Structure 1
Amino acid sequence: MKTTVLSLLRAAPDTAIVLTAPGRRGLTYRELRQLVGRIHRQLAARGIGAGDRVAIVLPNGPEMAAAFLAAASGLSAAPLNPAYKQAEYEFYLSDLRPKLVLVEAGSDNPVRAAAEKLGVAVAELKVEADAPAGAFSLWSEEAGCVPPSPDHEALVLHTSGTTSRPKVVPLSQANLFASARNIADTLQLTAQDHCLNIMPLFHIHGLMAVILASAGAGASVCCTPGFNALRFFGWATEEKPSWYSAVPTMHQAILQRAERNPEAVAQMKLRFVRSSSASLPPAVFKALQETFHCPVIEAYGMTEASHQMASNPLPPGEQRPGFVGRAAGPEICILDADGAPLATGKEGEVCIRGTNVTSGYENNPTANAASFVDGWFRTGDQGYLDADGYLKITGRIKEIINRGGEKVSPLEVDDVLLEHPAVRQAVTFAMPHKTLGEEVAAAIVLVEGATLEPAALQAFAAETLAAYKVPRRIVILDEVPKGATGKVQRIALAGLLGLGEE
């Protein structure tokens, strides 16, 4: 069997459901396979085939999921955030050079203007009124097409680019095949599983951990319009999911709503809850366990690894709060600054290698030279492996706060601040300081109805943390600014909050 996305979609029975949406008829695997073949032939009629890039600019939902599966299984999918402005689209389209951009019928998204300016063709999805969730067509012309090989590109994404120009990450058919299998094996996904997707589908987490891993396992996914804490429990009651995956900020918002929806919570029969894309504070891990009465599976992923690198196991394996689990696909090692392996328990840079890891950034020899050492990919994360092979991430190397030579892990401070009963969210970050270079600061969101003075929280933190780790500046906010995928951008926070040198 070829290690391609197309081969993943061929295993499930024809009548099994693959995609649903609130209030919509489900799409069967037979209908998905027919859709995929039809779209491949329609694109072939316009000279678009294996390895060619197709940009997808659609809102979250079943059509976005189906468009991704169709593009990734026969071409190269290039999903873009539908909230971008025209100038952002011009940058990404110039960088990616797609053959086509897919949009909703009647869409006035600014990607149209950007595509027209750059001479990129645009196609609208045609969706019949009574079509099952995800079904669409492009045009009537069809032509014969050749399926991709394992080496063909299947997905292309940009890095977040918070500190430099975003880098282009091409991922092959073999990369996606390996990662989808790794995730499905880790989560023991079967045809009986049904995931409630709340992750954005222009990001590796939702695309791989939810859509492709489920489709490769013969499971099903409910494709919601996107994350909405107010609607989460209504969707859950209607769809009866066996699991969901989210970033920690989403989990925190869901937990807050859970207090007001005890009946809906009681009806949920989750096999597990999954968390990835940012560190899950132990306090949130515990609250999820106590609320949903199921295992909480924290995983570790990144775009360059086609998502999953490590994961906590399901029972009877142990789920360790504060750890991202054991290697779950690629090999993991800890290297020092010179590229030498470190012993168990020693802190250094987390490095990976495996069939799910990109072969390198596109047209960026400088980044590739810096990112690969002796076949290992350097993640940029700092951490260590314990005696049982569980990985502890102690921080993003670029996010570690250097306070006059004393290094402070923001994650460590976060975990302490979150132990205070009045704190719902805590994000520790570096702020500029005239003499120390950097000082420790924290953005805090309080539990609804709670009050707390910064000085009281500093005193609380000082009971656990060394004095130099206690935030000198605490800003209490209604909401911490986040990026498009729901992740907090620590490096940019001082600037976003207007905190200059002190």
Structure 2
Amino acid sequence: MILHRDTPPEGTIRDWLDHRAMQGGTAFVFPEDWSTLTWSELQSEATRVASMLTTAGYQKGESIAIMHPNGRAGIVALFGALYGGFRATMINLAAGRDAIAYALDHCDARTAFVHDDVAELFALTKPDHMSSFKAPESTLFTILHHVKPEDHALLMYTSGTTGRPKGVVHTQASLLAGGWTTAVAHDLGPADRGLCVLPIYHINGLCVTVMGALVSGGSLTMCPKFSASTFWDHAEATSSTWFSVVPTIISHLLHGAADPDPATKARLRFGRSASSALSPDVQTAFETRFDVPIIETMGLTETAAQILSNPLPPGIRKIGSPGLPYGNDVAILTPDLQPCPPDVEGEIAIRGPNVMLEYLKNPDATAATFAGDWLRTGDLGRKDADGYVYVTGRLKELIIKGGENIAPREIDEALYSHADVVEAAAFARPCASYGERVEAAVKIRDGSSLSARELIDICIGKLGAFKAPDHVYFLNELPKGPSGKIQRLKLTELTQPE
């Protein structure tokens, strides 16, 4: 199996895991107990799990639910399901009981791999017909299902902030392509070790880091979760060469007391930011303090993570843009689905080998999402003359004040320009005069005396009074999804005007 820059990976996840096992080497390091898992050990464990499921009568493509945080057992469950030709159904442990119960019922899984720490949550949310998988005392290896690239491989549910979560189905081929787009954009190879602090039940953690390591032949430091106090220590102790995080983590590291040691700074080739827009001020401050370049990217659950990335240094990184397409095509479409000229705003659309197959049991949503072979993202953006994409907003998050569209991101960036702001998000509040008015919520660093009036004045100075928020609320934490992305649409219900 050879990784090519110009063509997506051939074969199946079983093929690639067999190849990595034959090559040998470490696949994962787990800082919670400093244990390791080699590619050969992972293949053996995955074969054992696949054999147990096959012998128990589970059919190819059948959903196998996985309720695990980051760790060895979760990785083995994931690869066991994928290796056996089953549909690994990753349950978002941060989604809340109703969303978890919906996913467990909707996916039609008969069994689930359940970590001890979430056994009670599983018992409260599982449908009556489902049970946790009980491994037999001894494993008889058996002939596994024949697996093809077009077979179902992954089922992952969207966050469902605007309705019921949708089950995104990826094939063996599109899942591998998700790791490939990352590997080619970031020039990952066998010598690279990623620092994974994002959950593998989210598409970023699963595709960017786990699938990225599989197709590139590198390895991963897999942390149970993000911790600002241990982040740099883990990067140092495991000789990590890159990391994938989200803007809120970058901001928390920037406002933390710890710094990486000089050797770690020199070894880290880059940090990767995704899931939501990164404030240019935060990016610049991070790079100035830590001397580690941040590569802004963009991805979706529906595209097996990455669709856009800035080039690595010394390539041109355009601050404020998630960059260029790698491994897929990106278009900006008008409302009637025609291509927009350069620098004209429209909806961002994607096509390529990493695009999902469908939304499970939801043909209407699937049809509405595709325009021919283009997947409509729901994000608004423009493309400059060099092909770099700039995300200007999200269709469902636009603030429409007095008939004028206001992108929340430009208000976020004005708020982040103050050094005391750790998290920020603008949102719409219904208003009798204008239809909607602009409000914002922030988290500020401990000990700051920053006032709402000061922040509003900053926004007025940068954006004008019409776009400036009428109210700024101070929260201990802004609501976030499993990837760390701020859930803007929840802020209206969490804040009350004076």
Provide TM-score, normalisation by structure 2. Answer: 0.93
Runs of 5+ consecutive residues of structure 2 not aligned to the other structure:
2-9
Greater shift in the superposed pair: 386-395 or 354-363 = 354-363
Q: 1:83 to 1:305 in 2, by over 3 A?
A: closer
Q: 1:317 to 1:11 in 2, by over 3 A?
A: farther
In structure 2, the partner of 1:349 is 347
Three-state SS of the structure 2 residue aligned to 1:108 is: helix
User: How do residues 10-409 of structure 1 correspond to structure 2 at under 5 angstroms?
Assistant: 10-12=18-20, 14-22=23-31, 23-74=33-84, 75-83=86-94, 87-104=98-115, 108-115=119-126, 117-123=127-133, 140-257=139-256, 260-262=257-259, 264=261, 267-268=264-265, 269-409=267-407
Over residues 294-347 of structure 1, what are the superposed CA-to-partner deviations in whole Å (9 max), with x where a residue is unaligned? 321111100111111111111231111110100112211011111111111110
Runs of 5+ consecutive residues of structure 1 not aligned to the other structure:
126-136
Q: 1:200 to 1:456 in 2, by over 3 A?
A: same
How far apart are the structure 1 equivalents of 2:399 and 2:485?
19
In structure 2, the partner of 1:7 is 15
How far apart are the structure 2 equivalents of 1:302 and 1:85?
21
Q: 1:445 to 1:265 in 2, by over 3 A?
A: farther
Greater shift in the superposed pair: 196-205 or 41-50 = 41-50
Q: 1:484 to 1:263 in 2, by over 3 A?
A: closer
Three-state SS of the structure 1 residue aligned to 2:380 is: strand
Greater shift in the superposed pair: 159-168 or 142-151 = 142-151
How far apart are the structure 2 equivalents of 1:263 and 1:390?
31
The one-letter amino acid of 2:221's match is C
Q: 1:139 to 1:484 in 2, by over 3 A?
A: farther
How far apart are the structure 2 equivalents of 1:28 and 1:440?
52
Task: Please state how far the C-alpha of 1:70 moved relative to its aligned partner.
Answer: 2.4
Three-state SS of the structure 2 residue aligned to 1:118 is: coil
How far apart are the structure 1 equivalents of 2:496 and 2:158?
25
Task: Please state how far the C-alpha of 1:81 moved relative to its aligned partner.
Answer: 2.6
Q: 1:304 to 1:377 in 2, by over 3 A?
A: same
Task: Please state how far the C-alpha of 1:237 moved relative to its aligned partner.
Answer: 2.7
Q: 1:114 to 1:294 in 2, by over 3 A?
A: closer
In structure 2, the partner of 1:128 is none
The answer to whether the Cα contact below 8 Å between 1:200 and 1:485 also exists between their aligned partners in 2 is yes
How many pairs does the alignment contain? Answer: 486
The one-letter amino acid of 2:41's match is E
The one-letter amino acid of 2:398's match is I
Q: 1:49 to 1:217 in 2, by over 3 A?
A: farther
The answer to whether the Cα contact below 8 Å between 1:11 and 1:218 also exists between their aligned partners in 2 is no
The answer to whether the Cα contact below 8 Å between 2:399 and 2:427 also exists between their aligned partners in 1 is yes
Three-state SS of the structure 2 residue aligned to 1:202 is: coil
The answer to whether the Cα contact below 8 Å between 2:110 and 2:129 also exists between their aligned partners in 1 is no
Greater shift in the superposed pair: 346-355 or 474-483 = 474-483
Q: Identity, % of aligned pairs?
A: 34
The one-letter amino acid of 1:395's match is G
The answer to whether the Cα contact below 8 Å between 2:64 and 2:88 also exists between their aligned partners in 1 is yes
Over residues 463-492 of structure 1, what are the superposed CA-to-partner deviations in whole Å (9 max), with x where a residue is unaligned? 211221111111122221222332111112
Three-state SS of the structure 1 residue aligned to 2:429 is: strand
Over residues 208-265 of structure 1, what are the superposed CA-to-partner deviations in whole Å (9 max), with x where a residue is unaligned? 00111112211111111111212222322322211111111111112222xx223646
Provide TM-score, normalisation by structure 1. Answer: 0.92
The answer to whether the Cα contact below 8 Å between 1:3 and 1:178 also exists between their aligned partners in 2 is no
How far apart are the structure 1 equivalents of 2:16 and 2:306?
17
How far apart are the structure 1 equivalents of 2:89 and 2:186?
26
The answer to whether the Cα contact below 8 Å between 2:281 and 2:416 also exists between their aligned partners in 1 is yes
The answer to whether the Cα contact below 8 Å between 1:104 and 1:124 also exists between their aligned partners in 2 is no
Q: 1:295 to 1:150 in 2, by over 3 A?
A: same
